[in-house]
A and B are shown apart, each in its own frame.
Chain A
């Protein structure tokens, strides 16, 4: 029931409230005397060169896409893992295991394809 989650929301409120209060309190109470050298981005003691905004290669995006696909796969496995004992008790444990194995094999084909095509390599 929803009432079970009230302690969770209270903890969330305390945790975020405490961290925000500490950050803001430090900013308000502490002395602040910025100068140009102090607010400069730290780049190993050198003066910063160029902009921090750079274009990234599409390869990173490919890895992120593949990550999402397998993330969604794992999401579908959570409910199965939770009610595995229920399925066994209902006598359909093996059938459901078969369904899940077919699902994993379908996605494993994608993983093998990625590896063969070199989708997970950086060159």
Chain B
């Protein structure tokens, strides 16, 4: 029960923060809303018993990736955007109507193609989401993909240096 309340609280906050990203006129405010959104999603991972992914979400996305976003905002020297068109009841009603129809259609298509996600038992998720389970398959069964990730990161480092250190022609 507490889990369901927490899920809906986090989901609604995540959606509200997502709307805030689009709605706010200053890029820095958008970035702050995005941080709230990422934290809510980390909380959702925690309710799904994926503790490792939840911590990584905060460390890598809300920490490191957001720093890159802020750098891009400062690099491009963005200023305030012009304010959005006026908000009316008719537009709000239309928004919820379209979202409802979209959700219904997506559900119908997904159910028709039989691609709806299966219900996961919390006990099974708790076993599969822990870091030690992850380590067991990552370092034994998937050792080669793990090394390929290393090469991918190497390519990212080298590429960043090459692009940023290029001599102006």
Contact = CB atoms under 8 A, between A and B. Distances in A.
Is B one of A's binding partners? yes
What band does the interface of chain A fall in when counting residues whose beta carbon is under 8 Å from B?
Answer: 35 or more
A119 B75 contact: no
A3 B43 CA distance: 13
A42 interface: no
Contacts of A1: 49, 122-123, 126
B113 interface: no
Nearest to A115: B161
Contacts of A83: 131-132, 135-136
A33 B156 CA distance: 52
A80 B157 CA distance: 23
B143 A99 contact: yes
A53 B72 CA distance: 13
Interface in A100-119: 100, 102-103, 106-107, 109-111, 113-114, 117-119
B104 interface: no
Contact of B153 (A55, A72, A99, A100): A72
Contacts of A58: 75, 164
B65 interface: yes
Contact of B43 (A9, A107, A114, A119): A9
B75 A55 contact: yes
Contacts of B135: 79-80, 82-83, 86-87
Interface in B34-84: 43, 46-49, 52, 56, 59-60, 63-65, 67-68, 71-72, 74-77, 79
Which secondary structure characterizes the binding site on chain B? helix
Given A9-B43, A68-B68, A62 B160 contact: yes
Given A72-B153, A106-B154, A117 B165 contact: yes
Contacts, number: 143
Contacts of A100: 139
B128 to A, nearest CB: 13
Contacts of A117: 161, 165
B139 A96 contact: yes
Most buried by A among B71, B140, B154, B157: B157
Contacts of A6: 2
A37 interface: no
A119 B134 contact: no
B104 to A, nearest CB: 30
B16 interface: no
Chain A to chain B: the 3 pairs with minimum beta-carbon distance, closest first? A79-B135, A110-B157, A106-B150
9 contacts: A1-B123, A2-B122, A55-B75, A62-B165, A73-B150, A76-B138, A79-B134, A106-B150, A107-B157
